[in-house]
Structure 1
Amino acid sequence: METLLNWVIATLNGSALNGLVMDNRYVFPMLEMAHFIGLSLLFGALLVVDLRMVGVARRVPMQRVDLFVRFAPIGFAINLVTGLLFLVGDSDRYLVNVAFWAKMGMIALAGLNTAYFVRRIKPQMAAGVDSADLAGGARTVAVLSLAFWCSVIVLGRFIPYVEDL
């Protein structure tokens, strides 16, 4: 397994994309700014929706809150692209880092939670069902969403400070 990991790291480090990300003094900071904007769109939208689903700001109709959901995939897409560029650019930092792998695990769990939300909860929100009447464990989904995404943020901040596996 370690040999495969070393091969992947060497291959990524030898790529032209790695050179673009690491050898240009503007690219990495621009990626960091874009990653932060993506995170703001993703987490900001989720925060509004999840807090409303747990009962905060009950006067705001669920259909209005549902409008925020469209910003989450945009933020996620920005973070996916910039995150992949970080990985290609500095693979020997990321691929051997326990905080990175824990972050990827949390993103996977958040993705499963989101899939459940999209299939079971979002159609009710679009129909105007109030948060108190949402079926399918909506509050649990919202709490898990907040927990998973907060963990992703914290683990992402740990990456520069955590040593190798």
Structure 2
Amino acid sequence: MNTLLNRLTDTLNATALSGFVMDNAVVFPALEMAHFLGLCLLFGALLVVDLRVVGFARAIPIARAEIFVRFALIGFAINLVSGLMFVVGDSDRYLVNIAFWTKMGMIVAAGLNTAYFVRRVKPQMDEGVDSSELTPDARVVAWLSLALWTGVIILGRFIPYVEDL
């Protein structure tokens, strides 16, 4: 596994994109700002939707909270692009970092949770039911979403401070 990881790291470090990210004084900080903006959109929107699903702000129709899903998708797209640029630019830091790989695992789990949300919970929201009428699994999905994305944020902050695998 280490040999494969070393080859991948060497390959990524040899790319022009890696040089562009690491050799330009403006690119990495701009990517960090974009990643933070994406995080704000993603987590802020999910906070509104998930908290509404679990029963907060009952005066707001649940179908109206669903509008925020678009902002979450935009934030995720921004973070996907900027995150990939981080990995290509500084693969020596990311690909050998346990916090990074744990974060990626949590993102996969959050993605599976989101797929379940889209398949089972969103149709209920589209019908305009109140949060008290949602199936119990809807609240579990919402709390799990909040927990997973909070973990992703925390692990992202750990990456600079955690060493090799």
Give the structure-2-normalised TM-score.
0.98
SS in 1 for 2:9: helix
Unpaired segments of 5 or more residues in structure 2? none
Identity of aligned pairs, percent? 73
Residue type of the alignment partner of 1:162: V
Q: Tell me if 1:123 matches 2:123.
A: yes
SS in 1 for 2:153: helix
Q: Deviations over 1:116-164 (max 9, x none)?
A: 0001111111221111111261000000000000000000000000011
> Which residue is 1:153 aligned to?
153
Conserved 8 A contact 1:120-1:136: no
Conserved 8 A contact 1:106-1:151: yes
> Which residue is 1:86 aligned to?
86
Where do residues 6-155 of structure 1 align in structure 2 (5 Å cutoff)?
A: 6-135=6-135, 137-155=137-155
Unpaired segments of 5 or more residues in structure 1? none
What is the rounded CA distance, in whole Å, between the counterparts of 1:124 and 1:76 in structure 2? Answer: 23
Residue type of the alignment partner of 2:111: G
Residue type of the alignment partner of 1:52: R
Deviating 4+ runs (over 6 angstroms): none
What is the rounded CA distance, in whole Å, between the counterparts of 1:91 and 1:34 in structure 2? Answer: 19
What is the rounded CA distance, in whole Å, between the counterparts of 1:35 and 1:134 in structure 2? Answer: 33
SS in 2 for 1:137: helix
What is the rounded CA distance, in whole Å, between the counterparts of 1:135 and 1:54 in structure 2? Answer: 11
Aligned residues: 165
